[in-house]
Amino acid sequence: MNTGNNINCGCCGFSTIEFDAIAAICDVCFWQKDFSQEKNTGDAGGLKSVSLMQSIVNYKSFGVMDRTFLNKVRLPKESEIQGHG
């Protein structure tokens, strides 16, 4: 479900990615939108070295796609939670 002009992040599931963005970074989990990894969730490479599948596991475990970016993320806004999951 979209919130305004946003779509749900492929990693955390919150509505944080601009609909027409090509490589936006999610403020909640620091996932960078990557069309290649969204089609091949187990593949690392492309824009980042952590696969989407591993990023999802990491987000569920410690709140960010990779611990390296722990200081760059924030909690989701109420408007981003709508449609989560």
Which string of DSSP letters, residue by residue, matches 30-69?
A: -PBP-HHHHHSTT--BTTBSS-HHHHHHHHHHHSSSSGGG
Whether 19 is in a domain gets the answer yes
Whether 39 is in a domain gets the answer yes
Whether 51 is in a domain gets the answer yes
Whether 83 is in a domain gets the answer no
Give how many domains the chain has, as a whole number: 1
**pLDDT 10s digits, 13-47:** 999 998 887 779 999 999 998 777 777 777 776 66
Whether 53 is in a domain gets the answer yes
The residue segments making up the domain with residue 36 are 6-78
Rounded distance, CA 47 to CA 55, Å? Answer: 13
Pair 17, 33: CB distance under 8 Å: yes
**pLDDT 10s digits, 47-57:** 667 889 999 99
- Taking residue 9's Cβ as centre, other Cβ atoms within 10 Å add up to 28
Whether 32 is in a domain gets the answer yes
Whether 1 is in a domain gets the answer no
pLDDT at position 48, please?
66
Segment 54-69 mean pLDDT: 95
Whether 24 is in a domain gets the answer yes
Whether the predicted model's global pTM rises above the 0.75 cut? yes
